[in-house]
Amino acid sequence: MPLVHMSLLHRLTMRLLFVCVGNSCRSQMAEGIARSLGHDAASAGTHPASEVSPNAIKVLQSRGLSTEDLHPKLIDDIDWQSYDMIVSMGCGVNCPMIRIDQDWGLDDPVGQPMEVFETCADIIEERIKSL
């Protein structure tokens, strides 16, 4: 019976990598949300910004989620092969060296009102829960 339980636990907990260009909004929110749902998650970008979007931080904190370890990371510094699934956030990321398992096609909320960030986070949470 413990083997069945371990197998079920493995299917529920995934190693997820969220990629985009700037790694400052969508992919950071996805990383934070996925971690809050019990997944081992990371995010990275092809051209990472210098900081996480303040609105992305506000949205996560308003949901009671930790933002402590969130910071933009370069995809080249990530061992992407160790992840169960790699998700492009939908910003036309072209990473010929890595596999992309899903492209979520989300519009970048940068520069948009707070409501756009909140809607984006809601969509991200729904999609992570459906994996």
In tens digits, the chain (131 residues) has pLDDT values of 444 444 444 457 899 999 998 999 999 999 999 999 999 999 999 899 999 999 999 999 999 999 999 999 999 999 999 999 999 998 666 666 788 899 999 999 999 999 999 999 999 999 999 99
Q: Which helix (H) or strand (E) holds 87?
A: strand 85-88
pTM: 0.89
Annotation marks residue 91 as catalytic: yes
Q: Is 37 exposed, middle or buried (0-12, 13-18, 19+ CB in 10 A)?
A: middle
Set 20, 78, 89, 93: catalytic member: 20
Catalytic site residue from 37, 95, 116, 123: 95
Q: Is position 25 annotated as part of the catalytic site?
A: no
Residue 92 CB coordination number (10 Å)? 11
Domain residue extents for the chain: 14-129
Instruction: Give the SS3 label for residue 43.
Output: strand
CATH 3.40.50.2300 fits 14-129, yes or no: yes
